[in-house]
Amino acid sequence: MIDARGEELSKQVLARTGGRGVEAAIDFVSRRRRSKACIRSLAPAGRLVIVGTAPNPCSARTRPFRVDPGLMLRKMLEIPRLRYVTLAELAQTLELLRQKRLKAIVTVPSRLEQLEEAHQLLRQNAIPGRAAAVLD
């Protein structure tokens, strides 16, 4: 486990792996600086797995990161394609929720009059988990 709040992430990774890098880096938020550090941390034939991303309209700090195609070819790096869910999986999940076989966990439920505040928190990426509008 590496604490990315300390010294630059890729420097920590390379130091802990004797300069080799890691076979896979998992990026849960996909911020430009972190994604670039993940790429620099990969060993030859390594994979960057992007699991989540902060949506652009919600965060002014989010900018796309660019990948050097030459580096990708030289190190034989891979960024596999991921998908979130299919419509059928979403429908199945909603049915399980309706049957109360699953419970949705919402960390920030907001009534109509609180939505602007919730939206501001989303823009600041200050909401852990999920936010939801509660309609009476």
Q: Are 17 and 43 members of one domain?
A: yes
Any domain includes 62: yes
CATH code at 45?
3.40.50.720
Q: Are 27 and 64 members of one domain?
A: yes
Residue whose C-alpha is closest to residue 16's, from 7, 26, 28, 27: 7
pLDDT tens string 55-110: 555 555 556 678 888 888 999 998 876 666 677 877 888 888 889 887 776 778 88
Q: Are 67 and 95 members of one domain?
A: no
pLDDT tens string 22-59: 998 877 767 778 888 889 999 999 998 877 665 555 55
Q: Is 19 exposed, middle or buried (0-12, 13-18, 19+ CB in 10 A)?
A: exposed
User: Quick one: pLDDT at residue 46?
Assistant: 92
- 0.75 cut: is pTM over it? no
Handedness of CA 116, 122, 123, 126 (dihedral sign): positive
Q: Are 133 and 112 in contact (CB under 8 A)?
A: yes
Q: Which domain holds residue 64?
A: 9-75
